[in-house]
Structures are given as C-alpha cells and as structure tokens.
Amino acid sequence: MDLQLTGKTALVTGASTPGIGRAIAAELAREGVTVAIAARRGELLRKVAQEIKAAGYAEPVVLEADLYDPATPERLAAAACDRLGRVDILVNAAGGSRPIPFDAPVETWEEGMMVNFFRLRELTHALLPAMIQSKWGRIINITGSSEPRNVNVANAAKAAVHAWAKGLSRDMGKYGITINSIQPGRIKSEQMTRQHPTEESRREFSQREIPAGRFGEPGELADLAVFLASPRAGYITGTVIPVDGGMKRFAF
Ligand SMILES: NC(=O)c1ccc[n+]([C@@H]2O[C@H](COP(=O)([O-])OP(=O)(O)OC[C@H]3O[C@@H](n4cnc5c(N)ncnc54)[C@H](OP(=O)(O)O)[C@@H]3O)[C@@H](O)[C@H]2O)c1
C-alpha cells in the first residue's frame, strides 16, 4: 500500500528513548516524511537522529524541549515550523505512567496532568492554525488504558485527552484535519522496563493479562500511527484505538 506520505513533515514528541515515539519517528522517516524529534535529553535525540540517517532516511531535526516549561508548546511549535517549513503531522508521544497514593498532594496531580494532558493540548493548539490554513493535518495522541488498576494521574490525563480530542475532531473535520488516539497496552520501552524490570515479571504479566502472550514491539504500534498519519486514513477521526495484544477486557 502506498501511504502517500512522501514529502510530508512531522513533529514527534517523546522520541528520545527506545520506545513508542522513536519507533514512530523512524517509521515516518522510512515513508519519506521529514521528521523533527523532541524531548528533554538532547544527547539521546541526536543518537536517534543519527540512527535514522544511518538507515538511509532523511536526518531528523533535533529539538530539545521540556514540556514542564509553560513556554515550550509555543516555542516548540515555532521551532518545528521554522526548521521543517510546516508541520503536517503531530505525534504526541511524550508522557508516562504516574501511579500515586490516594492522598497525594495537589502538586503531584498537577505534574502528571501537565505532561500527559495540558502541554499536549497546548502544543496541538499551537500547530492547528497553520494546519487549518493548509486544509490538511494529522494529530496522533499516544494515550493509555481506560481501565485504571489503581489511582494513576496518567489514567485521568489520558481520559482527558480522549474527551478533548473527540470534541476537537468534530471542529477540525471540515479542514481536512484528523485527530486520533492510540492506547498502548504493554509496549516495550524505557518506562515499561522500569515497571516490569525482569524477563520473568514480563512473562508472568503477559500470561495473566495479555491474550497475545507477550509485550508488544514499538514498531507494532508505529505501523498504526503511520497509517493514521497518512492521507489514506482521512476518514478515520475522533477514534481511540488500542494496540495491546487484546489486553483490554471490555468490548466498549
Ligand atoms: N509503553 C507502553 O506500553 C505504554 C502504556 C501506556 C501508555 N503509554 C504512553 O505512551 C507514550 C510513550 O510511552 P513510552 O512507554 O514509549 O515511554 P518512554 O520510553 O518512557 O518515553 C517517554 C518519552 O517522553 C519524554 N518526556 C517525558 N517527560 C517529558 C517532558 N517533561 N518534556 C519532554 N519530553 C518528555 C521522554 O524524553 P526525555 O526524558 O528525554 O524528556 C521520552 O522520550 C507515553 O505518553 C505513555 O504514557 C505507553
């Protein structure tokens, strides 16, 4: 299938680690997209850019950015537009799980909501006016499960992303802009290694919770993200799609 992505441009956040953001950046580059990659750790980003270049694709633009900083969304959007010419595709992959005790202080809630929802929304809104003008755009949010196991700020933040993205997709449809969210189940990454540090703990969890019987590879999620980013997915918007080896327990 020709995904018709050659010549498009993309900004991918959370691309510094060997996880979801990096895999999506690499797959977009493989499809002929010029990519900018963002996160806090510049050294890691530069390594990712070199790996993608060494594989024979256009070298990604590296943009160091800390999403805790309130100025980052505007600054990052401007830098990406400046370096890429325009941003056709935004992949919001920065974020992470935040399990907390029920009596955690308000600052803990604010921190988790900040990186997983507020800055994601602000960055998206900073890029939308130019997408509206060019009458084309793709927003892909990497969110998470809607089935909380305990109190976790990320669950609340990702649910906020789903609700906001649905409303936004209804407003943006007329401009040729789609907004979709992908829910990873257990995809190998830096934070997954922290949460499930041993092969044995991963095997035990997989046998108990994942019908596919294993953790997913980042590339298995990236395939869907790249399709959603493509012109061929123009009739898919406002959705929340799991990539979880069947881990989600409920039909709806
Ligand atoms: N892997 C899974 O199975 C799974 C499950 C549920 C949800 N998710 C979601 O999927 C997304 C990607 O997860 P992952 O597992 O691939 O994560 P990961 O390997 O831990 O990577 C997280 C990325 O986010 C960036 N990031 C974190 N805080 C940031 C900040 N303040 N400013 C800028 N960048 C920041 C990190 O870069 P720096 O540290 O260099 O800034 C890193 O590149 C996350 O939103 C996560 O919540 C993943």
Task: State in Å: Cα 96 to ligand 1 middle.
Answer: 5
Residue 62 has pLDDT above 90, yes or no: yes
**Tell me, what's the pLDDT at 5?**
98
Query: Pairing mode, if any, of strands 89-92 and 137-142?
Result: parallel
pLDDT in tens, 121-164: 999 999 999 999 999 999 999 999 999 999 999 999 999 999 99
CA atoms in the 13 A half-sphere facing the CB of 64: 7
**Tell me, what's the pLDDT at 196?**
95
DSSP string, 118-170: IHHHHHHHHHHHHHHHHT-EEEEEE---SS-SS-BHHHHHHHHHHHHHHHHHH
C-alpha span between 2 and 91 (Å, rounded):
20
**Tell me, what's the pLDDT at 159?**
98
Residue 252 has pLDDT above 90, yes or no: no
Compute CA 79 distance to the chain's CA centroid, rounded to the nearest angstrom.
19
Residue-wise over 223-248: b if at least 16 C-beta within 10 A, else e? Answer: ebbbbbbbeebeeebbbbbbbbbebe
Task: State in Å: Cα 133 to ligand 1 middle.
Answer: 30
Domain ranges of the chain: 9-239
186 lines ligand 1 (CB under 6 A): yes
CB count, 10 Å around CB of 208?
7
With vertex at residue 22, the alpha carbon angle to CA 182 and CA 203, rounded to the nearest 5 degrees, is 70
Specify the CATH superfamily of domain 9-239: NAD(P)-binding Rossmann-like Domain (3.40.50.720)
CB count, 10 Å around CB of 157?
22
216 lines ligand 1 (CB under 6 A): no
The reported pTM is 0.98
C-alpha span between 125 and 159 (Å, rounded):
18
154 lines ligand 1 (CB under 6 A): yes
61 lines ligand 1 (CB under 6 A): no
Average pLDDT of the residues in 223-229? 98
C-alpha span between 94 and 1 (Å, rounded):
29
Residues with Cβ within 8 Å of 222's Cβ and at least 6 positions away in sequence, in order, are 20, 23, 24, 26, 27
67 lines ligand 1 (CB under 6 A): yes
User: Which of 11, 12, 13, 17 maximizes ligand 1 atoms within 8 Å of its Cβ, making it the mutation to test the pocket?
Assistant: 17
Q: What is the mean pLDDT of the chain?
A: 98
Average pLDDT of the residues in 193-206? 96
Bridge partners, 64 (sequence order): 39
